[in-house]
A and B are shown apart, each in its own frame.
Chain A
Amino acid sequence: MSFTITTVYPDGRTETRDATPEEVAQRDADLVAFEAERIAREAAEAEAAAAKASAIAKLEALGLTADEVSAAFGLQVT
């Protein structure tokens, strides 16, 4: 996607130009990479949250209280 770049000098002069094809390509690549990272990060966070909830449920099924789960395993039961 095209965009403009404005250069500013200490004396206040400005120059605005269209981004070069290389700059546009870099931004497009950055956007694709960021979106892929976001999807992967959110999937990893969801997986970790599910694993934590499963562990807490199994510990509670064994008879541990929320305080015991927290003290022994550092898991906050919400």
Chain B
Amino acid sequence: MPTNGLVVMTPTSIAYSGTSASINADGSVDFSAVTSLSLNGVFTGDYDNYMITMRMEHNATTASSYEGVRARLRASGTDNSTASSYTGQFINAASTTVSGSRASYDFGFAGVAAWNANKHNGVQLSLFGPYLAQPTAARTTTISAYLGGEIYDAAWTHNQSVSYDGLTMYVTAVSFTGLLTVFGFNQ
């Protein structure tokens, strides 16, 4: 058993649509020009809370084609897309403008990226209790390269009392590329 701290959760499998994705020997996941990426078997009964760190870029080249990367919790290979089951509170800070919004959807949030291709962005996604058969809380903090530096913070909950062992990240009209690692908090 590892000592206290972060433990890499190697997926039991991943599933993607798009160009390519692979599981590295160290448990991280590489993905290139994918429109969806599912991580299976990363949440287990061993740990309650998890963190996903991810660097990514996204191939949108115009503001109108831009979209954030969305997320759905996943159980035994099936995404949960229950209408309005994910509620998010968002804070966005770009240049001197800070804005907020709040809404419910059939998806959660895995991060945003600057819409200019080849700009790199960083995401930290914390998930609290996804494997427990109770509602899940999550927080996605993104550092976007938009305008040279942008903060996008999404606190979101999912109201279904379901045990999830995975997560799907997806976009609809563009694709995204990067590398991620899932960690469990061992204590």
Cβ–Cβ contact B14 & A7, under 8 A: yes
Cβ–Cβ contact B170 & A10, under 8 A: no
> A58 in the interface, Cβ–Cβ < 8 Å?
no
Could you say which interface size class chain B belongs to? 20 to 34
Most A C-beta atoms less than 10 A away, residue of B17, B35, B67, B70: B17
B17 partner residues in chain A, CB cutoff 8 A: 3-6, 19
> B96 in the interface, Cβ–Cβ < 8 Å?
yes
Cβ–Cβ contact B23 & A8, under 8 A: yes
Cβ–Cβ contact A27 & B64, under 8 A: no
Cβ–Cβ contact A8 & B13, under 8 A: yes
Q: Which of B102-142 contact A (CB under 8 A)?
A: 106-107
Nearest A residue to B19 by beta-carbon distance? A6
B172 partner residues in chain A, CB cutoff 8 A: 27, 30-31, 34
> A76 in the interface, Cβ–Cβ < 8 Å?
yes
> B1 in the interface, Cβ–Cβ < 8 Å?
no
Residue-wise interface mask of B (1-39) relative to A, using a CB-CB cutoff of 8 A (1 in contact, 0 not): 000000000111111110001110000000000011000
Majority SS at the chain B contact face? strand
B107 partner residues in chain A, CB cutoff 8 A: 30
Known A31-B172, A31-B173, A42-B64; contact A10-B15, beta-carbon cutoff 8 A: no
Chain B min CB distance to A7 (Å): 5
Known A30-B170, A34-B172; contact A8-B81, beta-carbon cutoff 8 A: no
Seen from chain B, the residues whose Cβ lies within 8 Å of a Cβ on chain A are 10-17, 21-23, 35-36, 64, 67, 70, 79, 81, 96, 106-107, 170, 172-173
Question: 16 pairs across A/B with beta carbons < 8 Å?
Answer: A5-B16, A5-B36, A6-B16, A8-B15, A8-B21, A10-B12, A10-B23, A19-B17, A26-B79, A30-B107, A30-B170, A30-B172, A31-B172, A31-B173, A34-B67, A35-B173
Query: Across chains A and B, which 10 residue pairs bring their CB atoms closest together, nearest first?
Result: A34-B172, A31-B172, A7-B15, A30-B172, A10-B23, A9-B13, A3-B17, A8-B14, A5-B15, A5-B17
Seen from chain A, the residues whose Cβ lies within 8 Å of a Cβ on chain B are 3-10, 12, 19, 26-27, 30-31, 33-35, 38, 42, 76
